[in-house]
Amino acid sequence: MQDAGPESPVSVLEARISLKYDYSAGQSASRFLRAIERGKLLGQRCPVDGRVYFPSRGSCPQHAVTFGDEVVELSDKGTIVTYSIVRVPSANIPLALPYIAANVLLDGADTILMHVLDAKPDQVHMGMRVQAVWKPRAEWTTSTANIMFFRAIDEPDADYESYKEHI
């Protein structure tokens, strides 16, 4: 379809592909989402090597064993492992440009969480201690969007040894 007038040639074809899904989160992610609705962050511990995966995911991707029903509740504080400075806008991101996309290692977790950080580009650094900033409690749903972004907290930087394997 063309916006141009009737004399100009038709030069563009709109080829919209629209795929409608009924998405099932599955049992493990559903438990994670129900917990985050209550402001809790759930991980699961691999019974083979003891590493804590976040979000909880039902089975270990490395050892292919079930995690069962045991869950680990994690802190909403963590450490910036790596980050990028984002200068192009994106839907669903509530922060003004430029903002920081960061890999956050939550305290108690052995996997990183990709999220956004409300910080000036000249302030962010590896090892920086951060905490989740949540939406008002009345707005919490079964969604990871309950956490709006992370923000720096007044704690000494984490020791490099504590996060180096996640870089």
Partner 1 sequence: MRPANETNDPALTALKALTASHTLEYTYKRSLGPVLSRFFTGLRARKFLGLRRPDGSVIVPPKEYDPDSGQSLDEWVEVSDQGVVRSWSWVSQPRPQQPFDHPFAYALIQLDGADTPFIHVVDVPGEANMKSGMRVKARWAEETTGVITDFVFVPA
Is 92 one of the binding residues for partner 1 (CB under 8 A)? no
Q: If we measure between CA atoms, which residue out of 55, 112, 107 comes closest to residue 83?
A: 112
Contact 101, 116 (CB under 8 A): yes
Please choose, out of 17-25, 93-101, 124-132, 155-163, the segment that lies near partner 1 by the rule CB under 8 A. 17-25
How far is Cα 156 from Cα 161, in angstroms, rounded to an integer? 14
Is 52 one of the binding residues for partner 1 (CB under 8 A)? yes
Is 145 one of the binding residues for partner 1 (CB under 8 A)? no
Query: How many chain residues interact with partner 1 (CB under 8 A)?
Result: 44
Is 142 one of the binding residues for partner 1 (CB under 8 A)? yes
CA distances to 41, 85, 90, 93, 151 from 99, rounded to whole Å, are: 24, 6, 11, 9, 11
How far is Cα 90 from Cα 118, in angstroms, rounded to an integer? 15
Is 137 one of the binding residues for partner 1 (CB under 8 A)? no
Is 71 one of the binding residues for partner 1 (CB under 8 A)? yes
Q: Which residues bind partner 1 (CB under 8 A)?
A: 1-2, 6, 9-27, 29-31, 33-35, 37-38, 40, 42-43, 45, 52, 69-75, 108, 142
